[in-house]
A and B are shown apart, each in its own frame.
Chain A
Amino acid sequence: MELICPAGTPASLEAAVEAGADAVYCGFRDETNARNFPGLNFSREELRKGVAFAHRRGVKVLVAINTFARAGAFGLWQEAIDDAVMAGADALILADLATLDYAHRRHPGQRLHVSVQAGAANPDAIRFYAETFGAQRVVLPRVLNVMEIASMVRETSCETEVFVFGGLCVMEEGRCSLSSYATGQSPNMNGVCSPASHVAYAERNGHIVSTLGGFTINSFGKDEPAGYPTLCKGRFATPRGSGYIFEEPVSLDAALMLPALRDAGVTAFKIEGRQRGRAYIAGVVRSFRKILAAIDEGRSPPAVSLAAMAEGQASTVGAYRKGWR
């Protein structure tokens, strides 16, 4: 069982390596990766140094080039692929048919992982990526429960990786334009969701109102902390009543599901959060290392409190639990 940890900056990469990551994933400082936030990500030089540092400690580096290439500007994505290979990346995480096809032809020996953004949600889709591009691992979209994951793993020879902690998409990844409908900035095209540049807070009638692109996403009373207005976790009104009609402001914590996910045959566990600081990275990675060690030794996992690390006030196991749908 591999533990895959986020690295938004060289400092986070070092923190993740030192805290016991088996692999870290990161991206270049541009629109080629799905965490294209100000102040984050790696220059070419930083990636080369980061790979060298990680490899000295026996840790792998996976490079996410997982947005969809802009028409007429495919060169930017091709360069990112070439430079990641040159820097010694152990795998590339790709979502677009165009980037997968290019990487497979241009760098035939390079290990390729299918990004969660590709939304490969069944064994036939996984087989397509494995046979067409030689993909060796697929990161599963968060639409499946553990039993479904187990039956998928049995049907394919491709490795699988699942998210176990951090931000939680409630829509199928790679097929969501909610953010660009409100702001013009989308995960697929720009590598951002509900971008801070389009967020505003205002006080109205004693409530703090949060908006995204001019649309009210939530309204908080005096006793409620004003959370970040991620579009799919806002409060809205329908003829059936008002509230969190898509999902509450929760984040994913599947720590308790790890034994079941391991038994399902999952190869790697992934922690979300390239936008988080090194303290978060170090804390979460260390906690998961402890849990995995206990599972490996057949002990029951220690009760580690990750609540302080969760982005929202509460956590969920999301689609892994039957009935979430």
Chain B
Amino acid sequence: MNALTISTAITTGRVELVNTRQRSLFTARFRVLWVVALFALIAIVALMRIAYIGVVQPGPAHTSMAEALLPPRGEITDRNGVPLARAFPAYALWFNPTALGDGGAPLVKTPAEVAAQLVQIFPDMDAKWLARRLASGKAGYLRRRVLPEEANRVQAIGELALEVPREADRHYPQGTMAAHVLGYVGADGHGRVGMEAVLDKQLLDPAQRGKPAMLSIDSRVQGALEDELRRGMLAVDAVGAAGLVLDVDTGEVMALASLPEFDPNKIDVAGEKNMFNRVTNQVYELGSTFKPLTMAAAIDAGVVTDLSRRYQSARPLEMGGFRIRDSHVMGPTLNVPEALIHSSNIVTAQVADELGGKALQRYMTDLGMHERPYIELPARGFPIWHKGDWPRLRTMTVSYGHGIAVTPLHLASAYATMVNGGIWRPATLYKVEPGHAAKGRRVFKASTSARMNQLMRMIAVYGTGKSADAPGFRVGGKTGSAEKPGVGGYRRSSLVSTFAAAFPMDRPRYVVIAMLDEPKGTAASSYQRTAAWNAAPIVGRLVPRIGPLLGVMPDENHDIDLTDLAPLVGGKKE
């Protein structure tokens, strides 16, 4: 009885055990699948995230060794390979108030102490401004372009909040030189203003940035042009100056300067005001420099066939209540060479009147005066150009450079056309390989061009351009002193004085334009404000400097033959 009870209990226990084992095993086996499903779910999430990253991630999909060795932004050089803009791996000074990470004060020392130490490293920084900046607790740049040794000294201050991240900066080794041509690189890493903006894509393209972008600029010529322009500008206290040197056969811009300049290495408010490019963006009434163009058109059209023909020049021309007069009476009559030498508005207007508005308009259109100038720079001014048929008065004023406003670059291209045999070509800032110059379009006959070369040279020899006549360089050119339009008509006191020249006139190679904005009469210009006294001397000093650099040697024994025309102007120097 007893034994039976025990045995039943044990049997029950055994059954229970086996049951438990079976159930436990079954549950465990079944739930193992749950665990598999859980891990599979996590893995799917991870894979989807990887796919998301792979599809959405921005750009830098490939990095190569070769690319790492390239500059972050391509170099820009002048036509001889002299670097004008180069990549400059520098540091920046960044204020990170959360660097300490404890939510307390961003700095260990007081802002004033840190500011004082920073000023010791960067003497040009303002301690008070820095202290305020550090106390404000706002993250941001304290300074760009920090040199490695300066970065070391900043680290040595021992403030974690002062970070010096590496940045690919841009350096212009020649400082302000050719600033308007080059432009600068903004904080976003993209170019602004000049060729930095134009070439932005190419300079950043890994496939192309290894090779420097070569400009047509010659840095030696550019330097000389800026130097002489600045000297001339300061001497007569002008508000600005512009100049360029253009290859007449290829349209290459050898130098292009707009003053006052800005420093692309250090962009500030004052610099931003000066970014305006007077050569390509500002339109001026360029005055008498248009007279040779009018005369060329008249000769080319067959209106002026006899250079000895005389036009009256004693009386102002009356035209619809408007009087066209000369600065002074130059005699009762003048022929065309004399009119150019003395710069007579009256005679030029009569010639233009004979030529007719339609023809003059066509020549001016052929010279590109009706549209923005051709050059790569983004900032190109639109001329003030009268659309439709020109009335007589308009034709007459345009003939001596009023009632039409163009950029100095327009004028340079037109002069190049006039002296190079009559072919107009777009100006370019890219270096042109020999034989690859733009085809251009014919505006003047070659004979017209040859005649104009003589006349241009005569102005410099006998007329208003004498101070530009650098010995041996056979300079020819025309002055222009135009009153600037102001409120209620022209202002007699503020002028734009221009000298547009070409050299050497026996085989013209380069056009040089020098322009001064609002020159004053100073002792340096004998208290005169006209171009003969301020703009022409700039060219006179510039040509001997740049001529030999550009392959034009001074030669007293060569000159354009003026023997057929000299008698018309009395053959004597004025």
Q: Do A and B come from one complex?
A: no
